[in-house]
Amino acid sequence: MPRSSIKSFAIFIAGILVAVAALTFGADRLRRSPVPRANDTAAIKPQIILWAWERPVDLRFIDNRKIGVAYLARSITLRSDEVMVRPRIQPLRIPDQTRVIAVTRIETDQHRRPLLTTNQRHQVTKTIVELAELQYVSEIQIDFDALQSERQFYSDLLIDLRRELPAEKRLSMTALASWCMSDNWISGLPVNEAVPMLFRMAADGRQILTRLNAGDDFSEPLCRQSYGISLDEPQPKLSPARSLFVFNPDAWTEQSVRKIVESPK
């Protein structure tokens, strides 16, 4: 082989070796790089999560290693072809690094029934996605007691939200207990979990509580991660392995929080 050809071949081989080394180094860096998250503390889901509704709330006394906060961040009313957005106006005080879930409550006007248009859905999606940019918010939760005629709108909204939210942000929903037990229309929705509401239940509530106390479980897998309970109603038999979302019709105090932490499920 001529000297010039040997030199060219050597340069070619050296180039390949450099490229392989670069690819190997890059792959190693990818393997070592941590998955981006909202923050390290928020990535660990506490066993107890307090719902903080629309009133002045001071939870600076909580142990945020054990307790998270799901606060009402925005309320949305669908009316005719309009979307009425009401931001939270009451103060919320919590310790730094608390795991925070931003909740949006959606309601429909009973007198001017919403048209549930695509434009309304896009407006709702936009205003909810904005919450993901707030400090310490690691999850978005939707609270919407959708009627049967509103389910398609709700399903499409959740699909839009999952597509628009950052991948590391969890998306959850509250669910009527009947949705989890018998009328499981929520199967396949793009949410991380559905929190079954075991309080303020409709006529079938007694039957559902009886089944849970007898050892039955929810038929919908999305509903098997947590429970939603209220301090002013009796609790059914609960699995100790699941998280508790707790609603308090009164103001949160150290005493009421201590009662939840110390009471067995």
Q: Which amino acid is at 158?
A: L
pLDDT at 40 over 80: no
Q: How far apart, in whole angstroms, are the C-alpha atoms of residue 226 and residue 197? A: 10
Question: What mean pLDDT comes out for the span 245-251?
Answer: 96
Tens of pLDDT, residue by residue over 188-211, are: 999 999 999 999 998 788 899 999
Give the mean pLDDT of 35-60: 74
Cβ atoms 196, 180 nearer than 8 A: yes
Single out the residue of 185, 234, 237 nearest to residue 211, CA to CA. 237
Portion of the chain with pLDDT greater than 70, in percent: 83
Give the least confident one: 27-36, 69-78, 116-125: 27-36
Top-confidence residue, 39 or 120:
120
The per-residue pLDDT for 265 is: 58
- Predicted local confidence at residue 150, as pLDDT: 98
Decide if pLDDT at 130 tops 80: yes
- pLDDT, average across residues 238-259: 95
Beta strands in the chain (DSSP E): 48-52, 57-58, 67-79, 82-87, 92-93, 100-108, 137-143, 170-176, 193-197, 226-230, 243-247
Q: Which sign, positive or negative, has the C-alpha torsion 54, 111, 78, 148?
A: positive
User: 18 pLDDT exceeds 80?
Assistant: no
Whether residue 170 contacts residue 192, with contact meaning beta carbons closer than 8 Å, is answered with yes
Q: Are 246 and 231 in contact (CB under 8 A)?
A: yes
Predicted pLDDT of residue 25: 27
The predicted pLDDT at position 230 comes to 96
- Out of 39-48, 75-84, 111-120, pick the least confident: 39-48
145 has pLDDT over 50:
yes
The span from the first CA to the last CA of the chain, in angstroms, equals: 82
State the amino acid at position 30 in one-letter form. Answer: L
Q: Percent of the chain scored above 90 by pLDDT?
A: 75
pLDDT at 45: 79
HSE on the CB side for 69, CA within 13 Å?
A: 25
Full DSSP string of 147-175: -GGGHHHHHHHHHHHHHHS-TTSEEEEEE
Q: Is 52 helix (H, G, I), strand (E, B) or coil?
A: strand
67-112 pLDDT per residue, tens: 999 999 999 999 999 999 999 999 999 999 999 999 999 999 999 9
Find, among 244, 180, 230, the residue nearest to 53 by Cα. Answer: 230
**Whether pLDDT at 30 is above 80:** no
Amino acid letter, residue 181: M
Give the mean pLDDT of the chain: 85
Which pLDDT score is estimated for 223?
A: 97
23: tokens are 């690819």
